[in-house]
Amino acid sequence: MANVQAIIEQWPPSLDAAQVEALSRLATTWALAHGLLYLPVLSPQPSVPAAAIHAPISLFPSPFPRKLFNQAKRIQRTYNVLYSRIAMDTKFLDSVMGSEEGVGKVDEFTGQLWRGWKALRDETVQPLHLGIFRSDYLLHSSVGKEPSLKQVEFNTISSSFGCLSQRAAAMHRYLQQSNEYFKASEHLKSDNFPSNDTTSGIAGGLAAAHKAYGKSEAHVLFVVQGGERNVFDQSWLEYELLEKHGIHVLRQTLEQLATSASVDEKKTLRITLTPSSISSPIEISTVYFRAGYTPADYPTQTNYDTRFLLERSSAIKCPTIPLQLAGGKKVQEVLTQPGVLDRFLDDATRTDAAELRASWMAMWGLDAAADGLSADTTPTTDPANASTAEPHGVLRAREQFARLVLKPQREGGGNNVYKESIPAFLDTLPPAERAAWIAMELIEPPAGAGNYLVRSGGGPAVRAEVVSELGIFGWSLFGGGKVEEEREVGWLLRTKGKDSNEGGVAAGFSVLDSVLLVGDAE
């Protein structure tokens, strides 16, 4: 592994200005020709797009230890089962995420979803859930030790960039085949470029849910955000479903669904399109949420009511509300507590428990108490401030802030608080909101890694020191206390400048990258 560390630290290979410009031209032309695209920044977006730009990309694939890449893929199937079981454990979710005893007490967004789910439990007619997941990892570098795999988070809703990640990998393979990257590195050979068939894999999960619903003429509904720029990542799934499975897709925002969606006496979900050349109303087999993961998607109560209407129907939801809640950061933290993981494992999955635990950083809730003490009465370390006592979780975060990140129950990037910003943030965080936040020890990626980053309209690639985050995709169809079917279905690599704390491509922090396998498999 020492050789792997050296490869990472010395990456990327040296190029002269003419070579950088040539590769940038080849990469961006390929991206534009093969659907590795975004819509441009326009407000509002036109109803009929007139132009597109290539997604932000890296010029080289980034080195990743072959052994750890294989490990991440292998344990994804255990994660598929784990989060399926969490979503089916109502008592556990109520205690961790609920409005009566969990995060929902102090986090209004979480509370709204939980209360809506609780009110609908007796009306549930569809026992099946579909989860399309992505488990995200960074390499962690410890002094004197091999790099290890550490989980950043587990995503249970709108796990995006599967389709564009496949095309980013294909773009890098094209550059290798077209000019061998000017023979800049011996590692840039075809055997080190892993296959990536994420589009067909994710579409396979949606097709499995559609088949389980049992009506071939029904459609799959994509619930999307208004003004969405990342439409091509979604559109490739739509094309795959139609061309490979004969399944039609509708796209609607929550605002549109407020008037177009209805649920009949048999709990069938139907969409009425007006005006439309398609006969309607259209029956929906599966609801695939690419929206609904952030409070910004619910500006009014009507949007929540629409979400609950969809939840009430017999369509299979991806995700259901309990599965969305299972992806909360608080669940991730509670899983690290003694004995909790074992609650969800059996003989078939317990063999991977050690690898799962080894991939977790230290985590705790800001409202956590010291052993044997109530969170409300943990004494401050400063007797002079005894009247402003803080929980042990807050005190620990103050003491260790330089190597921590604080996370709320949010998805989509741009929500976390890092390192030196933590003390001031804790000073202003209302005590009642502490339960909505977790503290996590920062993952320390190997130093020295670099790449050339290409953004649309920015000219040739710019060399930068970077950090790369691996995402492994999986899906699970489950319900009634058992997992019916699950798969590991591909991967994503996002790369950002080292000085950027956040990692979201859509949020503007990262570029799409791909994996270059280095080192031995074992």
Cα distance between residue 118 and residue 98, in whole Å: 9
- CB 520 within 8 Å of CB 6: no
How many angstroms from the chain centroid is the CA of residue 112? 21
**Known catalytic membership, residue 329:** yes
**Nearest C-alpha neighbor of 167 from the set 27, 20, 22:** 27
Q: What are phi and psi of 329, to 5 degrees?
A: -60, -30
* Cα dihedral across residues 109, 431, 413, 140: positive or negative: negative
**2 Cβ partners below 8 Å, 6+ apart?**
146
Catalytic choice (411, 469, 486, 488): 411
**Known catalytic membership, residue 411:** yes
Catalytic choice (73, 134, 150, 167): 134
**80 in helix, strand or coil?**
helix
Catalytic choice (99, 148, 159, 160): 160
Q: Which residue has the tokens 């993961």?
A: 293
Catalytic choice (393, 412, 504, 519): 412
Q: Which helix (H) or strand (E) holds 483?
A: strand 482-497
- CB 401 within 8 Å of CB 425: no
Catalytic choice (77, 150, 329, 396): 329
Amino acid (one-letter) located at 2: A
Catalytic choice (85, 150, 407, 496): 407
* Cα dihedral across residues 84, 90, 91, 92: positive or negative: positive
**303 in helix, strand or coil?**
helix
**Residues 417, 92, 314: CA angle, nearest 5 degrees:** 100
Cα distance between residue 518 and residue 252, in whole Å: 43
262 bridge partner residues: 270
Cα distance between residue 161 and residue 491, in whole Å: 9
Cα distance between residue 462 and residue 140, in whole Å: 25
Q: Where are the beta strands (DSSP E) in 256-396?
A: 261-263, 269-271, 282-289, 316-318, 363-365
Cα distance between residue 383 and residue 198, in whole Å: 56
**Known catalytic membership, residue 160:** yes
Return the structure tokens found at 247. 């399944």
Q: Which residue has the tokens 């491509």?
A: 505
Catalytic choice (135, 155, 359, 451): 155
**88 Cβ partners below 8 Å, 6+ apart?**
129, 322, 478, 479, 481
**Known catalytic membership, residue 314:** no
Catalytic choice (148, 153, 285, 503): 153
Return the structure tokens found at 146. 């091999």
Catalytic choice (67, 85, 487, 494): 494
Which residues form the catalytic set? 134, 153, 155, 160, 329, 407, 411-412, 494
